[in-house]
Amino acid sequence: MSDSIAFLPLWVLALDYVLGVIMWTLIGRVAMNLFLPEDSNFFFMKVFVKGTNPIIRAFRPITPSFLLDPLVPLYVAWFFFMIRFYLMPWLLGYSVMGMLSFPLEGEIAGAIWETFN
């Protein structure tokens, strides 16, 4: 674990990682839907659809009806982005929004940096 996030409690990292994986899975579903239909037999598309359908169903009451169906996962991913960027730092008592944001992506970027530098 890098020094920049070592001060964070384990539950914060775990929650951020879960929310980040959900967010990126929803974004991945939208990206794959550009090339494949939702009922495709491609293994990864099946995983993306099966994994994200319960989340999309949970957000159905607050999803506007005018959104095109392929864009609904992106709309739901936006909520997870907002939770990670604004709500998490606020719950931890930071006065500056975004201070805690995106430990998952920071760890990935750090690993890439260490690999190629």
pLDDT in tens, 6-49: 666 788 778 888 999 999 999 999 999 999 998 999 998 999 89
**Distance (Å, rounded) from C-alpha 63 to C-alpha 47?**
22
Does the structure show a pLDDT above 70 at 61?
yes
**Distance (Å, rounded) from C-alpha 117 to C-alpha 111?**
10
* Out of 50-54, 64-68, 98-102, least confident range: 98-102
**Distance (Å, rounded) from C-alpha 11 to C-alpha 17?**
10
Structural domain containing residue 22: 10-116
Domain contains 5:
no
Domain contains 57:
yes
Can you tell me which residue has the tokens 């169903």?
57
Residue 90 or 6, more confident: 90
Q: Number of H helices and number of E strands within the chain?
A: 5, 0
Rounded to two decimals, the pTM is 0.80
Domain contains 1:
no
